[in-house]
Amino acid sequence: MSRAARSLYVWSLYLLGLGVILVVIPNILLSLFGFPSTDQVWIRVVGVLVLVLAYYSYASANENNRSYFRWTVPGRIVVPILFVLFVLLNLAPPQLILFGLLDLAGALWTWQALRSEG
């Protein structure tokens, strides 16, 4: 497995865990990060979307799909930028930035791995 593929494989595991938590026990995660609990279905819908992204990342890692690896980098860099914007606009609490930093770290890992592999 290439270094870039490994970065997406690890990313898929993170997304799998996050997605399962958001679908099954979202309020535990929300409370850990200081977000209000909710009974609305939207948090679980987000969990399903995260699970789909986990599958895409896992499948791309197994296939060593370098195109997909490259496509994820700018998308994962945009996430923390938008999360900071949401916080600055008072649309979300600052804890949201923590999730964005994980996206940024994963994107930088993938980007560096792609560069080192040529």
Question: CA 81, CA 3: separation in Å to the nearest integer?
Answer: 26
CB of 35 within 8 A of CB of 3? no
Residue 79 is given by DSSP the state: H
Domain that holds residue 94: 3-117
% of the chain surpassing 90 pLDDT: 92
Residue 36 is given by DSSP the state: P
Tell me which residue of 26, 24, 48 sits closest to 36, measured CA to CA. 26
Number of structural domains the chain divides into: 1
pLDDT at position 34 over 90: no
pLDDT at position 97 over 90: yes
Could you tell me the pTM of the whole model? 0.90
**Measured torsion, CA atoms of residues 71, 61, 13, 104, in degrees rounded to the nearest 10:** -30
- Average pLDDT over every residue of 76-94: 96
Report the first-to-last Cα separation within the chain, whole angstroms: 15
